Chain A
Amino acid sequence: MSNQGNIELGDIHWLMDILQNIDVGLVVMDSEYRIQLWNGFMESHSGLSPQVAKGENLFKLFPDIPETWFREKCQPVFQLKTRTFTIWEQRPYLFHFKNYRPITGRATFMYQNTAIIPLESISRSIDHICVIIYDVTDIAINRRDHELQLAAIQPGRDTPSCSASIIAPAIPAASALEVTNKPEPAAPDITAHQIKPQATETIESAVIVRDRHSWDDTLNRQLARCARSEQPGCLVCLQIDNNSSHYDESLLALFNRSLRQSDTAYHCDDLLFALLDNSDAGDARFFAERVRKAIKRLGDHYSVSIGIAPYIDEFESGEDWQLAAEEALLQARHQGLDCNQVFEP
């Protein structure tokens, strides 16, 4: 920009150092989408050295980048000299990188925001663009937790859901703005119902677990089994669509009946999980459709959305798996409720 004239040739080496070490991804491309610059961040996360990347077509090097979509975002930058942005809500990532925190992080991949900026040549035309990639995994995960919590607030009466007192401190002023598309919780009602009605306990057989620790154990054991034996396994996550309905005895009993002996279920707040042993995505989809239709027959006010996460090697913990199922559930909800959705990494 305007201060570029101030940079002296001798300074370039430390500018290059900064470029290599800065913790955001920088990719410069020409109008044919050939990579011209590939900084240290991109090299580290992709495993491709700048020597390999340089001159390569972006879409050939990364066939999983949706070409039409990305070109649409880049065209205005070339043609109108404007900056464009993509946010993780549109697509979780542009480049499929692993989570920066592989041990303590909860996501399997890195959520990314990108900014695409025009680079002016000496002739003032735009021959190159720069894509800047930001890691926003923490923001995305926090938001998703938050959305799930909000979805859990049911303004109905005998609401078996999280208490508002748990949720309230987690809402900073700014993000409270961002989730206003969710129904307003009727706060006074909910604080009065912090604990699930005990009555439902009697109807549940031993299959539905309520204890978080034993559920985590089961999930991790199943994960290890899948990893070892290459046997398929699926985690299904179910949520009632209508906020004023709740999991009454007939629904839980129905859910329970549809499970096999070898399956395990877990009921936590407003989510119902089922761990399907030796089942692939097709089996799970069949199971989910059956449950969804059966629940619909219970009454007009009942419809559920279901997320399905088949086991994949990328899951490093039970938590990963559960997040994937919850992600699929959110997608199903976004897709217009009353449907099921299989997680696609």
Chain B
Amino acid sequence: MNTASPTVTLSDDQRDCYQELTNVAMGQAADRLARLLGEYVVLPIPRVNLIESSDLRMALEGYGEDSSVSAVCQGFIGSGIAGEALLVFNDTSFKDLARLTRREQDLTHNGQLELLMDVSSLLIGACIQGIGEQLEVHFNQGHPVVLGQHCNVRDILKAGNELWTKTLAIEIHYTMESVNVDCDLLLLFTEDSVLRLNQKIDYLLD
């Protein structure tokens, strides 16, 4: 394939800039989540890395081999910048999530799907929009797709697209005070998008 394409790199300045962009965006997202759940959301520091797409799994290594997770992904694209947002929930989170949203009575397979969709709409939407606004890019969002419910994290990522080899991964690990809710939001940008993103970032840095 196009092996001759220029290799993408990430300078320290650029990395900081991505981190700052994400900080602003995920602050908005956390605010929405807190309003939905009425519970304080701990704001973590986002991790920004250029990773091989085959190493994506390592980004999720926090989940043990035997822990059960549920995941939703949603594609986004705008001004030639494309990527996917991936939200992974530890299944143990659902009990507290249901309590906070006052839906304990229907914590069925379907009830969990509703929660998964509600929270992912909120978090993914806010993050994508937040980053888009700062970069002055309007992102179109595809429909969310449930990658799996109650499955192993390995199964979620097992059959990826090998077309792009490097991906810019922004990892945000959301947790909550005093309740057992934890989820990972990953923003993954394709290799060719990173070049365009870097141009935009450099413009901001100047």
Contact size range, A:
20 to 34
**Judging by beta carbons under 8 Å apart, are A177 and B159 in contact?**
yes
Any A CB within 8 A of the CB of B81 = no
**Judging by beta carbons under 8 Å apart, are B32 and A87 in contact?**
no
**Judging by beta carbons under 8 Å apart, are A87 and B144 in contact?**
yes
**Judging by beta carbons under 8 Å apart, are B143 and A334 in contact?**
no
Any A CB within 8 A of the CB of B197 = no
**Judging by beta carbons under 8 Å apart, are B143 and A85 in contact?**
yes
Complex: how many Å from CA A13 to CA B26? 41
Instruction: Find the B residue at minimum CB distance from A113.
Output: B143
Q: Within the complex, what minimum Cβ distance (angstroms) separates A192 from chain B?
A: 24
Any B CB within 8 A of the CB of A335 = yes
**Judging by beta carbons under 8 Å apart, are A85 and B156 in contact?**
no
**Judging by beta carbons under 8 Å apart, are A87 and B147 in contact?**
no
Stretch at the interface among B40-48, B107-115, B164-172, B187-195: B107-115
Any A CB within 8 A of the CB of B126 = yes
Contacts of B109 in A (CB 8 A): 334-336
**Judging by beta carbons under 8 Å apart, are A84 and B113 in contact?**
no
Could you tell me which residues of chain A, from 306 to 345, have a CB within 8 Å of some CB in chain B? 334-336
Contacts of A2 in B (CB 8 A): 138
Instruction: Find the B residue at minimum CB distance from A179.
Output: B148
Complex: how many Å from CA A137 to CA B159? 25
In the complex, per-residue mask of B162-182: 1 if CB is within 8 Å of any chain A CB, else 0: 000000000000000000000
**Judging by beta carbons under 8 Å apart, are A76 and B148 in contact?**
no
* Given the contacts A89-B113, A90-B113, A336-B108, A82 and B126 also touching, CB distance less than 8 Å: yes
Q: Looking at the complex, which one of B32, B152, B161 makes contact with A82 (CB distance below 8 Å)?
A: B32
Q: Dominant SS at the A interface?
A: mixed
Contacts of B143 in A (CB 8 A): 85, 87, 113, 115, 134
**Judging by beta carbons under 8 Å apart, are A83 and B141 in contact?**
yes
In the complex, per-residue mask of A173-202: 1 if CB is within 8 Å of any chain B CB, else 0: 110111111000000000000000000000
Q: Looking at the complex, which one of A72, A176, A181 makes contact with B151 (CB distance below 8 Å)?
A: A181
Contacts of A335 in B (CB 8 A): 108-109
**Judging by beta carbons under 8 Å apart, are A180 and B155 in contact?**
yes
Q: Within the complex, what minimum Cβ distance (angstroms) separates A25 from chain B?
A: 14
Instruction: Find the A residue at minimum CB distance from B150.
Output: A181
Complex: how many Å from CA A119 to CA B32? 19
Any B CB within 8 A of the CB of A122 = no
Instruction: Find the A residue at minimum CB distance from B35.
Output: A80
Contacts of B118 in A (CB 8 A): 72-73, 84
Contacts of B151 in A (CB 8 A): 180-181
Q: Within the complex, what minimum Cβ distance (angstroms) separates A93 from chain B?
A: 15
A-B contact pairs, 30 of them (CB 8 A): A1-B138, A76-B122, A80-B35, A80-B122, A80-B126, A82-B121, A83-B141, A84-B121, A84-B122, A85-B117, A85-B141, A86-B117, A87-B117, A87-B144, A87-B146, A89-B113, A90-B114, A90-B117, A113-B143, A176-B158, A177-B148, A177-B158, A178-B146, A178-B147, A180-B148, A180-B158, A181-B148, A181-B151, A334-B109, A334-B110
**Which B residues fall within an 8 A CB radius of A?**
32, 35-36, 74, 108-110, 113-114, 117-118, 121-122, 125-126, 129, 138, 141, 143-152, 155-156, 158-159, 161
| Additional pairs, 14, CB under 8 Å, beyond known A80-B32, A85-B143, A180-B151 | A76-B32, A80-B35, A83-B121, A84-B122, A89-B113, A90-B114, A134-B143, A176-B158, A177-B155, A178-B146, A179-B148, A180-B156, A181-B149, A334-B109
